Each structure stands twice: as structure tokens, then as C-alpha cells.
């Protein structure tokens, strides 16, 4: 499936849009972001269940809900839903759905795409 099929968009990117591949370069060179990502890795790999309380302490309930909504958009796009369908069915703002869709970049399938594929395999293995 190509990018336009996943995103349901034929439009041009806004002029201020930064492709995901450029953002990867930016975060790779930022020590604060690297530090945060390491904290996520440790919390997620802990057998003590540290990720949920870490998230609750780190971000607001609204920020967590926004992140959750974005992940649902990713899942729905990879399942073949159009942007219009997602907006209508989930009652989400078009700017949020468009923003997420534009970050689905076939040249950087190590972000949304890679995680979606792994999550799909894990769900199938777990019978979900």
C-alpha cells in the first residue's frame, strides 16, 4: 500500500511540514530527547510496570488522550480507512488526522509503520 492509499490524501504537504525523516535526524542529535527515549525504554522494559505511572507523572491526562487518539488514527490508516472516514467515525478534528497521516512516510517506515507491524504480529500471536 502506498502513502496516498494509507493517508487517503492526494494533496501537497503544507510549506512548513517537516518530513518524518528530517525529524528523525533532529531528535537523534538532541541529548534531552535521547535521555527521554532512554527513560521510556527502561520504563517499558521494566517488569515492575513502570510505564503507566511514568506517563501519568510525565504528561497531563489531555496529552495522554491526544497521544492515544493519534495512535488510533495510525492504526485506522494502516487498516485502509480514509482520512474522511476516520474524522467522521471518531469525531476527530481534520487537522489532527491530516497531521498524523502526513507523518506516514514510506522512506521512514521505522516509526509508525514499524510499530504498527510489530503490534499487529503481537496481537495475532496473543489471539487478540
Residue ranges for the chain with pLDDT beneath 50: 1-4, 6-7, 9-15, 17
Give residues with Cβ within 8 angstroms of 5, minimum separation 6.
Answer: 80
Map out the domains of the chain as residue ranges: 16-58, 60-128
User: What is the model's pTM?
Assistant: 0.68
The confidence score (pLDDT) of residue 100 equals 87
| pLDDT at residue 2, as a whole number | 46
Tell me the DSSP string of 94-124: HHHHHHHHHT--GGGTTTHHHHHHHHHHHHH
Predicted local confidence at residue 111, as pLDDT: 73
What tens digit of pLDDT does each residue of 46-77 get? 888 999 999 999 999 999 999 999 999 988 99
Amino acid at each position: 500500500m502506498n502513502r496516498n492509499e494509507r493517508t487517503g490524501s492526494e494533496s501537497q504537504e503544507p510549506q512548513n511540514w517537516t518530513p518524518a525523516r528530517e525529524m528523525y535526524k533532529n531528535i537523534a542529535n538532541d541529548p534531552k530527547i535521547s535521555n527521554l527515549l532512554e527513560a521510556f525504554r527502561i520504563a517499558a522494559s521494566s517488569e515492575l510496570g513502570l510505564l503507566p505511572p511514568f506517563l501519568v507523572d510525565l504528561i497531563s491526562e489531555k496529552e495522554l488522550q491526544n497521544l492515544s487518539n493519534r495512535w488510533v488514527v495510525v492504526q485506522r490508516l494502516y487498516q485502509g480507512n480514509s482520512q474522511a472516514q476516520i474524522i467522521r467515525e471518531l469525531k476527530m478534528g481534520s487537522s489532527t488526522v491530516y497531521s498524523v497521516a502526513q507523518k506516514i512516510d514510506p522512506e521512514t517506515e521505522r516509526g509508525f509503520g514499524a510499530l504498527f507491524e510489530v503490534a499487529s504480529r503481537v496481537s495475532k500471536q496473543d489471539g487478540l
